[in-house]
Structure 1
Amino acid sequence: MKVTRTAQKINMDNIVDISVDVHKDTLCFFFEIDGAEFSYTCSNRTTIIEKRLISYRDIALEHGRKGLRIICEPTGQFQNKLMRTARRLGFFTNYVNAESVAKFRVVESNDNNKTDKKDPRVINTLGKLNKVIRFRMIGEKYLMLRKLHKICDECDVAITSHRCRISKLLVELFCDYSFKKDFLYSNSGLALVAQYGCNPYRIVDDGYQIFCRKMRKAAPRIMSRTLERLWEDANSSVLNVLPPGYVQVLEQYLYDRLDDYFNVLERKEKITEQMVEILEKLRLDDPLIPPPTPHVISEKNLARLLAETGPLSDFANWRKLMRYAGLNLKTRQSGTYQGQNKISKKGRKLLRKVLQAIVLPLVKKGRLYGEFYHKKKDETKMPGNKAMTIVARHLLKKIFGWYRSGEAFDERRFFTCQSRYETMAKAA
């Protein structure tokens, strides 16, 4: 039996649309009621917003209306006070797409001028046409999860930045250092930092025997050829003859950079643990959330994914989830011209980033998407980034179906349509 959810429709004839152009310090209101127009500008401050919305509710009640719907563009964080106050007072809330406002402004006024008086009118017209976006209230746990994931992503960016700066600093301090960038963060590399601060002049001053003894004591499993290579790199680097005071500054800066790197790394690990704890609490409220599955998705990645999607129960079907992620397809066709299908990239950028990180290990040969991915690349000569996008779309759709089914992961079902799977099950 197929169950279809039908959204409850609201009679908007009894609701007054209040369109708002949001700025950092001010709000520009506009609405129409029974042929009369009302516009007002006030400070973007919670107490003032509350008084203004209550006064507009009183006007709506005087004209026989039952409530208000607040419509605005998402502008970073500046619209939050308005929308939260509106929801607290019991009003409806919706967003309008900023791109739609910009394009419709030209349609409505036949020019591309932008003013604080014009934008609320354009937003009001879009509201009348019901070209609005739902304002989601995702609950405390999902809010915490989303914010922690944002901080975690900032840590990832900071980690990359620190590693790039450390690599650049090594080029200056240890100019003939010939190892790859990951070596410095291994046990042998960290021993080099602890004993010599990656300073080739200190290495050469100690001599080869003392250098080997110190390094073997700090990293017992270091290989002899690694020690020989480091010694050769150090002897080559000292030929540049940098001033001792300048070398000391570079060495101290390297220590500081590495401290910052490891502090951010530790912070990221703690945040990840918090996200996993919140996910465990979410499972108590929603047992349909899939469990971590080896070689498919880990607990950490599942927490990251749900941080960006919010409750999967909010989406009526997988197509709406795809639009939310910005992975829905857009087409360009006119007459005999047929353009390429591309993803819209209009949804949550961080959700797409998480999906790419999840599918990256899954496309290796022998893994879940190995055959699927390499068939696209090798047989159809598809570019790798396009094939990765197809895999990301497929995985998001499957995770949504996995959630809705509430069943355990079944790899046989993963790449098989429902009718064929049922036929195979009966035959078995």
Structure 2
Amino acid sequence: MKIHTTPAPDKARPVLLLAADVSKDTLHLFSRFESGLHQVVAQDVVANRTEAVERALRQAAALAVTHGLHGVRVICEASGGYERTLLAVARRAGHQTALVSSEQVGQLTKAESLDTGKTDRKDARVIHLAGEMGKTQRYRDLPEPYVLLRHLTAFHDDEVRATSAIRTRLQATLRDLFPDYDRPIAFTFSKTGRVLLREGLLCPHRLAKLGQTRLLAMLRRRVPGVKTITGKRLVDAAVASVRSAPPDPIAAVLSDRLAVLVAELEMHEGHAEALKVQIETLGDSLKAHGALPPIDEAVSGITLFNLARLVGQTGPLADFASKRQLLRYAGMNLRERESGQYRGQTRLSKKGRPMLRKVLGQAVFPVLRGDRLLGVRYAERRERMVEQKARVAAMRKLLVAVWGAHRSADAFDPARVHVCQSQYAVAA
């Protein structure tokens, strides 16, 4: 029999546990505790507004003092941001705060009253039960730079997705306007392709009328070094398309639409680039204060942009006592299913921050090349497992490597990534 001893929870200073079921407009509050020979139950429904929350918390604090309890602990579910007012007011008033998992609340709902019914009042009682059982998660009140990085990362992601959607619409419009256009996507969005789009010259009627000589002269003034064969292929495709392209009135409308889409595309690209600069500036600031792992891009292949976004999503890496905690926070921990002789597939739990996993997936690609940090190990894994599993293993390894580099605070050494601490010590 294996015996494992952990410190018992401190019950010498009981607090008033205040559970809240949070919605957009209201908070259903519930608290239950013993006072002498009696059990006290307090319930209320208040507006999810700052003044109403402050008033409810003052009443809870007064109730705690009346019954000899040492403060108030506020717990609730993460509710898509609607819980932020409650938690911010509670922290400002000096109360303890914690979160409970929505999944745990869903499971406890059945056990609490042995039925599958769901109401806001019942949810508040179940959240309180989860708090009594100690099934809570720490609410992290992140320092300002990390909050800024999270906002900037989300905004940058919005701009990238908008850019991708516009590119798709632009290519669809171009197919309608220019049936025989056969240039690759890379050319369409290159410097030459963008000049053609801005000038409205990817209309076959205009391009055929302009001719090869004048087209090349115009392009070479804007983009030096354009090849003659490029102009010839464009004009030949335009001449062929004139016979099947839409008539002039429709072509004019499609050409105007292309101009609008190009303007939108460049606007979103400019916003994305400006956000990238802000993220890198914050990353430099964090690195100067020792909050960013000392990882050299030339050695690791991890850019400052990706590293700053990654640390913005994790928050201060010093908050994680072990790599397991960090992997669980990211939802990158492995979930096993077994019972008796049954052995299910091992999968990722995906219970953590989705944006952290997304940024991690983007950050891992540059380091999977053969000469980069995880290139050799990734190639070995690809020989014995499918690409997706190999990439997930690389994502886990990268996240742990970033945490380890921060914890070590020494100069980044790629040799330490693939060996345990004892092996590295022997080699050293």
TM-score, normalised to structure 2's length? 0.93
Q: Secondary structure at the match of 2:242?
A: helix
User: How does 1:338-353 map onto structure 2 within 5 Å?
Assistant: 338-353=343-358
Contact 1:362 1:368 in 2 (8 A): yes
Cα deviation for residue 139 of structure 1 reads: 1.0
Cα deviation for residue 47 of structure 1 reads: 0.5
Q: Secondary structure at the match of 2:45?
A: strand
Residue 27 (structure 1) aligns with? 27
Residue 132 (structure 1) aligns with? 136
1:99 aligns with 2:103: yes
Residue 245 (structure 1) aligns with? 249
Q: Secondary structure at the match of 1:93?
A: strand
Out of 49, 52, 62, the residue aligned to residue 53 of structure 2 is 49
User: How does 1:65-76 map onto structure 2 within 5 Å?
Assistant: 65-76=69-80
Higher mean alpha-carbon deviation, 145-154 vs 290-299, is at 290-299
Paired AA for residue 24 in structure 1: K
Cα deviation for residue 388 of structure 1 reads: 0.3
Out of 169, 180, 204, the residue aligned to residue 208 of structure 2 is 204
CA distance in 1 between counterparts of 2:114 and 2:185 reads 56
Paired AA for residue 156 in structure 2: C
Q: Secondary structure at the match of 1:272?
A: helix
Higher mean alpha-carbon deviation, 156-165 vs 234-243, is at 234-243
**Number of residue pairs matched by the alignment:** 418
Residue 14 (structure 1) aligns with? 14
User: Over residues 314-354 of structure 1, what are the superposed CA-to-partner deviations in whole Å (9 max), with x where a residue is unaligned?
Assistant: 11111101001100000000000111111111111111111
Residue 304 (structure 1) aligns with? 309
Aligned sequence identity (%): 35
Paired AA for residue 306 in structure 1: V
Cα deviation for residue 311 of structure 1 reads: 0.5
Contact 2:293 2:402 in 1 (8 A): no
User: Over residues 147-174 of structure 1, what are the superposed CA-to-partner deviations in whole Å (9 max), with x where a residue is unaligned?
Assistant: 1111111111111111111111111112
Residue 393 (structure 1) aligns with? 396
Paired AA for residue 26 in structure 2: T
Alignment root-mean-square deviation, CA: 1.9
Residue 58 (structure 1) aligns with? 62
Paired AA for residue 330 in structure 1: R
Residue 3 (structure 1) aligns with? none
Cα deviation for residue 198 of structure 1 reads: 1.4
Residue 420 (structure 1) aligns with? 423
CA distance in 2 between counterparts of 1:25 and 1:287 reads 38
CA distance in 2 between counterparts of 1:370 and 1:152 reads 27
Higher mean alpha-carbon deviation, 358-367 vs 159-168, is at 358-367
Cα deviation for residue 287 of structure 1 reads: 5.5
Structure 2: runs of 5 or more not aligned: 1-5
Residue 171 (structure 1) aligns with? 175
Higher mean alpha-carbon deviation, 405-414 vs 312-321, is at 405-414
Q: Secondary structure at the match of 1:196?
A: coil
Contact 2:296 2:412 in 1 (8 A): no
**Runs of at least 4 residues of structure 1 off by over 6 A?**
6-9
User: Over residues 291-321 of structure 1, what are the superposed CA-to-partner deviations in whole Å (9 max), with x where a residue is unaligned?
Assistant: 4421421111111111101100111111101
Contact 1:25 1:43 in 2 (8 A): yes
CA distance in 2 between counterparts of 1:11 and 1:402 reads 38
1:229 aligns with 2:233: yes
Contact 2:76 2:99 in 1 (8 A): yes
Out of 255, 269, 275, the residue aligned to residue 271 of structure 1 is 275
Structure 1: runs of 5 or more not aligned: 1-5
Paired AA for residue 141 in structure 1: P
CA distance in 2 between counterparts of 1:127 and 1:395 reads 34
Higher mean alpha-carbon deviation, 231-240 vs 110-119, is at 231-240
Higher mean alpha-carbon deviation, 404-413 vs 324-333, is at 404-413
Paired AA for residue 389 in structure 1: V
